[in-house]
Amino acid sequence: MNWQERTGCGNVGKDDVGREIQLQGWVDARRDHGEVLFIHLRDWTGIVQVVFQETESKDMLETAQNLREEYCIEITGRVVARAPGTENSSITTGTIEVTASALSVLNASVGLPFHISEKAMVAGAVVGTPANVAEDLRLQYRYLDLRRPSMQDNLIKRHQIIKSARKILEDRGFIEVETPCLTKSTPEGARDYIVPSRVHPGEFYALPQSPQLFKQLLMVSGLERYYQVARCFRDEDLRPNRQPEFTQLDIEASFIDESFLFELIEEIVSQMFAVGGIDLLRPFPKMCYQEAIATTGSDRPDLRFGLRFVAATDLFTNTSYAIFKQILKRNGCIIGINVKGQSEALSKNVLQNEYAKQIVPGFGGKGMTWMRMVDGKLDSNIVQFFSPAEQQDIIERFECEDGDVLMIIADPSYALATKVLGQLRLHVADRLGLIPKNTWSPVWVTDFPLFDPTETGGVTSTHHPFTAPDRTDFDPQNVSDLLSLKSRAYDIVLNGEELGGGSIRIDNREVQQKIFTALGLTPEEAAQKFGFFLQAFEFGPPPHGGLALGIDRIAAMVLSTRSIRDVIAFPKNRSAFCPLTHAPSLVSHEQLAELELLNLGGGEAMPGKAEKNLLETLSWVSRIGIREEEALMIKTAVEQAEKLATQIQARATDEEPMFSVIPLQNRTRPGREAVAHFGVENGDLLTNAAEVKGDFFKVANIIE
């Protein structure tokens, strides 16, 4: 193999006609015509057609006839122009082909688990692709899946997306600094992945959810402009576009304010999307959090279409409509949307039986009021409950015209009403095709609340506890005062998807301590969790702020892929499992012993490892609780079954097994009331779990 003289398959063109070249790659497809054999040869630069002819070499043709898809080969040949009418527009090299004079099989391939080729050998022919192959099978053979030109193009463009951001940051004086992956577990909103330490038995590192603390410490260090393409880890429930490990472009700068970051990030994001041929108009508009919720029901507003909320609470102050009347007595709100000109698409049956009775309750709403504008008047099954003055006010407030449909949500909770109407807005827009294609609407969402209320009457950080408040004269013990605070945080949103978020940070230790106090952390607890961080803030920290962009999500949007998994080389599947490596997996007893993880319970028996009680094991496996009054009867039956099984096993070596078919009969416990297993109260419910892994019990899969 002479790699120095190699030409890329996709780099051959008309200028090479008459030249002898050397190619190396994989057989993408083959077409055998007996005395002439055609193959597509593929490498990461593209595909070229190679012709093997008996007139060149009979032995070479015989060898070529044994080639199969994904054989790795080397050929030497001469570039020739294709005859008119035989060109192939499906490949970039379709006007030429290579007549082979030598062939060497570098490595053969076994049969493929799925078809890889994406290009037709004949112009206009249809070629199958792995698009409909089960994703877990594609992930199991990811190295084959990544041979597909479309997947390679995704990763190449992902590289170009990151490269474009790096260039801008380096031109602006930013430097890339790596921060630790083995760090201290700190509360940042999601669960940490923890790593046991062999050197410090019984103690653990945590994988970073983000480089948040370290990048702020870099600002304290005087490295004023930092960035990092950072790997982050969050042990949280998965969603279609979420991975347990992900990549973010992390940025932090000192002596700046929001305007610096807005301008910088807009330039970066615009260049990222330009890789996919997408032009984003700048500057991006800004929308405060309150407006986003009040008009779209989401802090990730999709602004590609209208259907903005109309506030209507004040129209029904003296209404006789009982439902609205009761809601207003509870200080509720009434809001709606006007779906312009869609009366025919949204029939009475659809509005009443689908949306009001099924879809809106599915979003968590208690119901929906609807009206349609027909011949200058409102029409619905409840319009008679509104006075002529109220009807006229509705028409004017919602700017109704014939053919319009009003969809109204009323609820005592403003948060629930806006959330439900926000989901309804998206559902209706998608159903009716109101979202324009190839339209891009970025927006900055600002002025988030600093805190959210908790069910226990306290507060929790909306973003994270290092976000600067809009004022510092707050009482950390006064919940009402805390909930009135706004943050200096900002999210960048595109087409209803959050691309990233950040904030101006707290740079004063006293203010940071007040935030910890508001969150219920005592000075001792704050010192235990963040002592190193707070200490650094005693040494003159600069004003600073930053932002992180989700690389996986941005790449998926730029390239219009079905999932972020299509822009990640080796992703996990939807259950955080890697079909390729079978991670996570069990480790050996010796590894656990070396890490001193076998005796974390001290002298106590590890849960799930104690001697099993057969009756409790049966209860666990069947997921049926056994009451005390039933235990003796079931225990007797189990013992009899065990005795019978022993007898059968003893006779099995000498005699043929016997079979007896008896009629099936269901045996169910009388009554319909659910009763909690007594083990819940005494803590023994999980004693007979099949296997323990950390603090969790491993059980058989019920639903995949």
Q: What is the mean pLDDT of residues 272-277?
A: 97
pLDDT at residue number 34: 85
pLDDT at residue number 417: 96
Six-digit token pair at 149? Answer: 């030109």
Closest CA relative to residue 273, chosen from 570, 553, 571: 553
Whole-number Cα distances in Å, 235 to 179, 190, 300: 20, 7, 23
Q: How many helices (H) and strands (E) does the chain have?
A: 20, 24
Question: Are the CB atoms for 438 and 298 separated by under 8 Å?
Answer: no
Percentage of the chain lying above the pLDDT 70 cut: 88
Domain interval for residue 7:
3-107
Confidence of residue 605 (pLDDT cuts 50, 70, 90): very low
Q: What is the mean pLDDT of residues 357-366?
A: 93
Rounded CA-CA distance 268/285 in Å is: 16
Strand 405-411 versus strand 489-494 pairing type: unpaired
Rounded CA-CA distance 303/325 in Å is: 33
Q: Is residue 228 part of a domain?
A: yes
HSE at residue 133, side-chain half, CA atoms within 13 A, is 18
Same domain, 253 and 309: no
Same domain, 195 and 227: yes
Same domain, 536 and 556: no
pLDDT at residue number 210: 93
On average, the pLDDT of the chain sits at 89
Q: Is residue 334 part of a domain?
A: yes
Same domain, 75 and 100: yes
pLDDT in tens, 408-448: 999 999 999 999 999 999 999 999 999 999 999 999 999 99
pLDDT(8) > 60: yes
Q: What is the mean pLDDT of residues 265-292?
A: 97
Question: Are the CB atoms for 119 and 28 separated by under 8 Å?
Answer: yes
pLDDT at residue number 610: 45
Q: Is residue 157 part of a domain?
A: yes
Rounded CA-CA distance 615/617 in Å is: 5
Q: What is the mean pLDDT of residues 469-497?
A: 95
Say which residue, 690 or 247, is predicted with more confidence: 247
Number of domains composing the chain: 5
Question: Are the CB atoms for 367 and 332 separated by under 8 Å?
Answer: no
Torsion of CA 554, 558, 563, 565, to 10 degrees: -70
**For 234, phi and psi rounded to 5 degrees?**
-140, 125
Contacts of 133 (CB under 8 A, 6+ apart): 114
Rounded CA-CA distance 624/679 in Å is: 12
pLDDT at residue number 145: 95
Same domain, 276 and 357: no
- Looking at mean pLDDT, say which of 49-58, 289-298, 598-607, 633-642 comes out highest: 289-298
The CATH code of the domain that includes 70 is: 2.40.50.140
* Radius of gyration for the alpha carbons in the chain, expressed in angstroms and rounded: 33
Confidence of residue 41 (pLDDT cuts 50, 70, 90): very high
pLDDT(166) > 50: yes
Helix/strand/coil for 103 = strand
Question: Are the CB atoms for 312 and 397 separated by under 8 Å?
Answer: yes
Percentage of the chain lying above the pLDDT 90 cut: 70
Same domain, 278 and 315: no
Same domain, 309 and 431: yes
Confidence of residue 611 (pLDDT cuts 50, 70, 90): low
Rounded CA-CA distance 237/255 in Å is: 37
Signed CA dihedral, 644, 646, 651, 653: sign only: positive
pLDDT in tens, 58-74: 899 999 999 999 999 99
Q: Where are the beta strands (DSSP E) in 86-187?
A: 96-107, 175-176
Confidence of residue 682 (pLDDT cuts 50, 70, 90): low
Same domain, 243 and 335: no
Signed CA dihedral, 19, 22, 26, 29: sign only: positive
pLDDT(606) > 50: no
Same domain, 267 and 382: no
Q: pTM of the prediction?
A: 0.81
HSE at residue 431, side-chain half, CA atoms within 13 A, is 15
**For 431, phi and psi rounded to 5 degrees?**
-65, -40
Same domain, 614 and 687: yes
Q: Is residue 270 part of a domain?
A: yes
Closest CA relative to residue 264, chosen from 276, 246, 248, 252: 252
- 34-43, 142-151, 311-320, 658-667: range with lowest mean pLDDT: 658-667
Contacts of 87 (CB under 8 A, 6+ apart): 94, 95, 123
CB atoms within 10 A of CB 307: 23
pLDDT at residue number 626: 76
Q: What is the mean pLDDT of residues 258-285?
A: 97
**Cβ-based burial of 703 (10 A; exposed 0-12, middle 13-18, buried ≥19):** exposed
DSSP structure class, residue 83: P
Q: Is residue 679 part of a domain?
A: yes
Six-digit token pair at 266? Answer: 């807009």
Helix/strand/coil for 582 = coil
Which residues are 454's β-sheet partners? Answer: none
pLDDT at residue number 266: 98
The CATH code of the domain that includes 311 is: 3.30.1360.30
Same domain, 406 and 309: yes
Closest CA relative to residue 98, chosen from 166, 151, 143, 49: 49
pLDDT in tens, 367-390: 999 999 999 999 998 999 999 999
Same domain, 331 and 263: no
